[in-house]
């Protein structure tokens, strides 16, 4: 293990060299440790320069993992539980009210006011998450479609178990609403990924080159989603 300091944060990293590997892979093992997989002979100095370049993003992910480790997220829908929204754990607060049922978001909490005739708490929160997912994904799809120069035909929010998104041959894009629990940079990656399928309906080299043009660290974001996506399926399933 080698120690490195990025933006006044100190953590350790380990390099695993692979003979036939052509790219660099970053794996966040814990809030203080990172694993790097690199081609054999790849200079350590170049790796540290890459870590420095990605320092802001890395530290944000490490901090999020530290919070999650201290306060397990998406386990229950009870008072005080930690729920993820846009990558940040929020404390669930439940209040009874004579007024209409509503959900309010702050930097630290998701406050649910439940009226006497309200649906179950799980239904209220599910509908709130889906609504926010629809709004956020519509805005991001519109923005990135303009940047890439493509035009999707239709956008649909779905409750999928195994896929984060898809793009049909007709130009229709589907998103899994649970992605609203992920950090915004991960949502941006997913949106760009699906929009690029409008140009390349496959996972060819040309497709990945197009994704990387707009999301230079797309491989790291893709890996983060693979490693942490299970956090988003702990509730409402």
pLDDT values of the chain reduced to their tens digit, one per residue, 237 residues: 788 787 777 778 888 898 888 888 887 766 667 888 889 988 888 888 888 888 887 777 777 666 655 656 777 888 888 899 998 889 999 998 878 999 999 989 999 999 988 899 999 999 999 999 999 999 999 999 999 999 999 999 998 777 899 999 899 999 999 999 999 999 999 999 999 999 999 999 999 999 999 998 888 888 888 888 888 877 776
Determine, yes or no, domain membership for 229.
Answer: yes
Q: Are residues 200 and 129 in the same domain?
A: yes
Give pTM, 2 decimals. 0.72
Determine, yes or no, domain membership for 87.
Answer: no
> Which residue range forms the structural domain that includes residue 196?
120-233
Q: Are residues 124 and 225 in the same domain?
A: yes
Determine, yes or no, domain membership for 209.
Answer: yes
Q: What is the 3-state secondary structure (H, E, C) of the chain?
A: CEEEEECCEEEEEEEEEECCCCCCEEEEEECCEEEEEEECCCCHHHHHHHHHHCHHHHHHHHHHHHHHHHCCECCCCCCCCEEEECCEEEEEEEEECCCCCEEEECCCEEEEEECCCCCCHHHHHHHHHHHHHHHHHHHHHHHHHHHHCCCCCEEEEECCCCCCEEECCCCEEEEEHHHHHCCHHHHHHHHHHHHHCCCCCCCCHHHHHHHHHHCCCHHHHHHHHHHHHHHHHCCCC
Q: Are residues 125 and 199 in the same domain?
A: yes
For the chain, the domain total comes to: 2
The CATH number assigned to the domain holding 139 equals 3.30.2010.10
Determine, yes or no, domain membership for 208.
Answer: yes
Q: Are residues 23 and 127 in the same domain?
A: no
């Amino acid at each position: 293990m080698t120690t490195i300091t990025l933006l006044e944060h100190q953590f350790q990293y380990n390099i695993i060299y692979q003979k036939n590997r052509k790219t660099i892979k970053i794996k966040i093992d814990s809030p203080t440790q990172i694993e790097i997989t690199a081609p054999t002979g790849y200079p350590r100095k170049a790796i540290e320069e890459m870590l420095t370049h990605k320092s802001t993003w890395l530290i944000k992910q490490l901090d999020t993992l530290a919070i999650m480790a201290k306060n397990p997220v998406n386990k229950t829908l009870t008072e005080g539980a930690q729920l993820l929204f846009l990558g940040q754990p929020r404390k669930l607060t439940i209040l009874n009210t004579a007024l209409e049922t509503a959900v309010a978001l702050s930097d630290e909490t998701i406050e649910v006011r439940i009226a006497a005739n309200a649906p179950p708490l799980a239904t209220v929160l599910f509908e709130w998450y889906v609504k926010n997912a629809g709004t956020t994904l519509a805005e991001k799809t519109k923005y990135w479609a303009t940047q890439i120069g493509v035009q999707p035909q239709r956008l649909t929010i779905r409750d999928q178990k195994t896929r984060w998104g898809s793009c049909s041959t007709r130009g229709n894009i589907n998103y899994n609403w649970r992605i609203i629990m992920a950090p915004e940079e991960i949502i941006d990656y997913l949106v760009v990924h699906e929009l690029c399928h409008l140009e390349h309906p496959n996972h060819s080299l040309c497709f990945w080159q197009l994704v990387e043009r707009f999301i230079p660290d797309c491989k790291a974001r893709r890996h983060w989603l693979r490693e942490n996506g299970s956090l988003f399926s702990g509730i409402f399933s």
